[in-house]
Amino acid sequence: MKLSRLLGLIGLAIFGLFIIGPLYITIVTAMKNINEVFTIPPKLIPYTDFEPSSEAFDFIFNTRGKYTFITSLIVASTATAIALIPSLLAAYGFSRYPRAAMNDERSFFTLLTLRMVPPFAVVLPIFLYWNQLGLFDTYPALIWTYTVFSVPLAIWLLKGFVDEVSPSIEDAAKVDGYGFLDRLRRFVIPMLGPALAATVALVWLFLWNEFLFALKLGGSRVVTYTAYLPQLRVGQRVQWNVLGAIGVLGAIPPLIILILFRKYLIRVYLGR
Amino acid sequence: MKRFLPTIKLVDICKKSNGAIILKNINMEVPDKSLYVILGPPRSGKSALGRIIAGLDTPDTGRILFDDQDVTNLGPAERNVSMVFQDFALYPHLTAFDNIASPLRKLKLPKEEIRKRVLEVAEYLKISHRLTHYPSELSGGEKQRVAIARALVKGAQIIILDEPFVRLDYKVREDMRAELYRLQKDVGVNVILLSSDPVDAMSFSENIAFMRDGEIVQIGSLTKLYDNPKNIFVARYIGVIEMNFIPAKIIQENNRKVLDTGIGKIALPTIPQLSENEVLIGVRPEHICIEEEGGPPHAGNTFTIEGRVKITEVIGSETIVHLDVGLTEPIRILIPGIYKKNPGEVLKATFNISNIYLFNVNGLFICKGGDILG
């Protein structure tokens, strides 16, 4: 074996340990009862070191914990759906009318910077807005905030995909007699197809994993599964096993998305 | 499938794009039931003009009349115009059948009617067996047939084809040219062909508009463009191999006007309407012969040049000899058959004076040699 290949494999192994290690500990922790969580040295191998317990999962399914997943699902899905319509139209405009007023690199970049602002820098004013409007800790507040923050990402992803739809195909549709909305519905959207689905998936994933806004703009009536995590303590003791179990359950949707849209997400991340 | 066909009239069409003028005062008339070729080099504005005739773009100024009806502000469907795009622009997510049916679906025709009309046009274009396939599964020629079928199926009066043969193989190109000719005759539809390939002009030779830099330079039949090119540019473009140019001075010698080329002199009885005393002599490669040793001498008023072979190129069943006669560019000579000469060999080439073209220094056509000799 060549040295470079060996070094590469060693590097990958170390990298893998960093990724797999915490995941493994999360999964193992979710399988313990609360007393076994704190033993030193830690018990790492189920059935050998300790008897697996369903205590953490039972806790989630017998408390409001189970509703937090439903809340996350509603908030992330609604916001994604609302964000998609203006994003698709804007991406179409950016792609098809490069000479239109205000369609230049600056405006496109400005849109992207919205995405680069650390959420922490804006979360307080946004909190104050919703509070003034009397909408703090409601579904509309969280959904609308999520929508606004998803649009730049969705435009950015979709523009690249719309660019790939040949304009002559739309000209052909014009010649066939189709108006703008018909062209979008019958030709552009079906041709975007899986790429559109991957965009939806990615936007949804960011919202599913979102923590800070969920915590600050919700927290008592509207509780997503991420905002639920800090509440998991009994007295001074953190319920690490329940945290682990929520982590395991929360990772299932992203995993499904990654498997389904792997091909397109790689293209998205590599800039094609 | 007989149709009512309008005469297309373009009046003073101008178009700017991004500050640059892409069409300047276009005036032309496409007679009904014709196969019309708009010929020009890439970026000469023919696509822009095609899109304006189709109704995909509107001109900045000027009007488009179909017969005497002003259609300037109507869309492609309202004008009943179809267009076949250079990349065929088939809908990749639809089968060939659904691609062809697309304009009919928009018209909300009954299902049976759509089916009948698609099958009819597919039969005519010999693609019946490919209707269930997606565009990615079709060959170049088949894609083009599907694109033409889609343009035909709604009964358009005018079909515009933008560089239809560029994406096709050489052999398929020949088939499709023949197909287009047949279609225009059978269906009776106005076909406008946008092309940068002079061979297209030679295949469909009745009506040609030659464009350059957003302007129409010359309109006419192939014979007219070949024999009386308006300027050097047209002369160069219309022809299988580019025309040769030899600069010459007009001098008086023994009371006769003589063209002095620097590599020989051509005596002329008269040179009409010449204010300049310099001209460019144009000679088509196909009008030059190579004088073989011991061959019969050329009849008539001829001019002979001598030079060294630079290179010989075989194209199909013809040969181009590049002969260095001491001018800045070698003289190209087109000879039938495969002809092998080694570089450096000395050859004599002859052409008949009646076949030369004379241009003034600004590149405008003056006359042909034949006109001077009478």
pLDDT for A89 equals: 93
Inform me whether the pLDDT recorded for B273 exceeds 60: no
Q: Which residues of A touch B102 (CB under 8 A)?
A: 173, 176
What is the arrangement of strands in the sheet containing B8-17, beginning at the earlier edge strand?
B20-30, B8-17, B61-66, B69-70
Residues 16-45 on B with a CB inside 8 Å of A are: 18
For B367, the token pair is 């006359």
Give residue A271's pLDDT. 60
Inter-chain contacts counted by CB atoms under 8 A, chains A and B: 59
B83 with A173: Cβ contact below 8 A: no
Rounded average pLDDT over B251-280: 76
Is the pLDDT higher at B229 or at B205? B229
Would the pLDDT of B170 be above 70? yes
Stretch (H or E) spanning A202: helix A189-209
Indicate the residue of A168, A178, A190 with minimum beta-carbon distance to B93.
Answer: A190
Residue of A nearest to B80 (CA): A175
Q: Is B121 exposed, middle or buried (0-12, 13-18, 19+ CB in 10 A)?
A: buried
- Give the number of C-alpha atoms closer than 13 A to the C-alpha of residue A45, restricted to the C-beta side: 2
pLDDT tens for each residue of A153-194: 999 889 988 998 889 999 999 999 999 999 999 999 999 888
Pairing, β B244-253 against β B278-283: antiparallel
pLDDT for residue B271:
61
Does residue A33 have a pLDDT over 50? yes
Alpha-carbon distance of B76 to B203, in angstroms, equals 28
Inter-chain contact A191–B93, Cβ cutoff 8 Å?
yes
Cis-peptide into A41, omega within 30 deg: yes
Residue A250, pLDDT > 90, answer yes
Distance between CA atoms of residues A75 and B280, nearest Å: 78
Q: What are phi and psi of A260, to 5 degrees?
A: -70, -40
Residues β-bridged to residue A5: none
Query: Which tens digits make up the pLDDT trace of B8-64?
Result: 899 999 999 888 888 999 999 888 878 899 999 988 999 999 999 999 999 999 999
Residue pair B104/B114 in contact by the 8 Å Cβ criterion: yes
Q: Which comes out higher in pLDDT, residue B68 or B256?
A: B68
Q: Which tokens hold the place of A143?
A: 């959904």
For A118-138, the pLDDT digits (tens) are 888 899 999 999 999 999 999
Residue B272: its pLDDT value, please?
60
pLDDT digits (tens, 9 = 90+) for B60-82: 999 999 888 899 988 888 888 99
Q: How large is the ipTM?
A: 0.80
> String of b and e for A43-55 (b: at least 16 CB within 10 Å)?
beeeeeebeebeb
User: Which pair of tokens denotes residue B273?
Assistant: 């309407």
Compute how many other C-beta atoms are within 10 angstroms of the C-beta atom of residue A152. 20
**Region A186-203: what's the mean pLDDT?**
89
Single-letter amino acid, residue B173: R
What does the mean pLDDT of chain A come to? 89
Domains identified in chain A and CATH numbers: 1-62+234-250 (no CATH), 63-231 (1.10.3720.10)
pLDDT of residue A213: 92
d(CA B64, CA B71): 6
Average pLDDT over residues A79-103: 89
Q: Return the residue in B16, B52, B53, B56 with the most chain A beta carbons within 10 A, the one to mutate for interface testing.
A: B56
Average pLDDT of the segment spanning A5-28: 93
Instruction: Give chain A's largest Cα–Cα span.
Output: 74
Residue among A169, A178, A190 minimizing CB distance to B89:
A169
Domain extent listing, chain B: 8-237, 244-373
Q: What percent of chain B has pLDDT over 70?
A: 94
- pLDDT reported for residue B2: 43
Q: Give the pLDDT confidence of B206-222 residue by residue, as tens digits.
A: 889 999 999 999 999 98
Please, which pLDDT band fits residue A263 given cuts at 50, 70 and 90?
A: confident
Q: Is B251 left (phi over 0), alpha (psi -120 to 50) or beta?
A: beta
DSSP 8-state secondary structure symbol assigned to residue A270: T
- Quick check: B189 and B208 in contact, CB under 8 A? no
Cα–Cα distance, A46 to A28 (Å, whole number):
7
**Can you give the pLDDT at residue A174?**
92
Query: pLDDT tens digits, residue range B322-331?
Result: 999 888 889 9
Q: Taking CA atoms, what residue in B is nearest to A178?
A: B106
Q: CA-nearest residue of chain B to A190? A: B93
Residue B230: count other Cβ atoms within 10 Å of its Cβ. 17
Topology adopted by domain B244-373: OB fold (Dihydrolipoamide Acetyltransferase, E2P) (2.40.50)
B332 in contact with A, Cβ within 8 Å: no
* Mean pLDDT score across all residues of chain B: 86
pLDDT for B217 equals 93
Q: Supply A21's token pair.
A: 């290690």
Contact A182 B106 (CB under 8 A): yes
What whole-number distance in Å separates Cα of residue A158 and Cα of residue B170? Answer: 38
Query: B228 CB near a chain A CB, below 8 Å?
Result: no
Shortest Cα–Cα distance, A99 to chain B (Å): 8
Residue B103 and residue A176: Cβ atoms within 8 Å?
A: yes
- Kindly give the residue spans of alpha helices, DSSP state H, lying in chain B: 46-54, 76-79, 96-106, 111-124, 140-153, 170-183, 198-203, 222-227, 232-237, 369-373
CB of B134 less than 8 A from some CB of A = no
Mean pLDDT throughout A71-95?
94
Q: How many helices (H) and strands (E) does chain A have?
A: 13, 2
**What is the arithmetic mean of pLDDT over A229-245?**
87
Q: Give the model's confidence band at B270: pLDDT under 50 very low, under 70 low, under 90 confident, else very high.
A: low
What CA–CA distance (Å, rounded) separates B29 from B60? 19
Q: At A17, is the pLDDT very low, low, confident or very high (cuts 50, 70, 90)?
A: very high
CATH for the B8-237 domain, from 3.50.50.60, 3.40.50.300, 3.40.50.150, 3.40.50.620: 3.40.50.300
Q: Which band of pLDDT confidence, cut at 50, 70 and 90, is reported for residue B274?
A: low
pLDDT for res B185: 82
The residue behind tokens 């797999």 is: A20
Task: Indicate the pLDDT class of residue B1, thresholds 50, 70 and 90.
Answer: very low
